Amino acid sequence: MLITCPYCGPRDVVEFTYQGDGNRERPQPASQDLDAWNAYVYDRLNPAGDHNEIWQHSGGCRAHLRVVRNTLTHEILSTAFARGGHKSAGHKAGGNQ
């Protein structure tokens, strides 16, 4: 599997560290909403299809990336920096079958 890092270009998957479901919303640090914290720590979307997920290019530039990948075919549909603007697109992909 090749992941295209926006800085470094296409690189082998072994350079990256997987950080899972990219739809999780981290509560504000001072939040005392237990349900929100539990959901953030333990709950995952686990679709058989397009999945919106976070990877770190830990063996390269170390940037965190938002990747939309198909969990049935391992095809990568999009890659972008995790910070900035791509969350909503990802949300839609994550909910797809």
Which spans of this chain sit near Zn ion (rule: CB under 5 A)? 5, 7-8, 57, 60-61
Q: Which one of the spans 25-33, 35-43, 57-65, 81-89 is the region binding other proteins (CB under 8 A)?
A: 35-43
List 12, 33, 59, 62, residue binding other proteins (CB under 8 A): 12
79-83 long-range CB contacts below 8 Å, 24 or more apart? 79/3, 79/4, 79/5, 79/6, 80/6, 81/6, 82/22, 82/54
Under the binding rule (CB under 8 A), the answer on residue 73 touching other proteins is yes
CA angle 41-46-50, nearest 5°?
125
Shortest distance (Å) from residue 57 CB to Zn ion: 4
Three-state DSSP class for residue 69? strand
Q: Which one of the spans 6-14, 25-33, 57-65, 84-92 is the region binding other proteins (CB under 8 A)?
A: 6-14
Shortest distance (Å) from residue 14 CB to Zn ion: 13
Under the binding rule (CB under 8 A), the answer on residue 14 touching other proteins is yes
Q: Say how far apart CA 44 and CA 46 lie, in whole Å.
A: 6
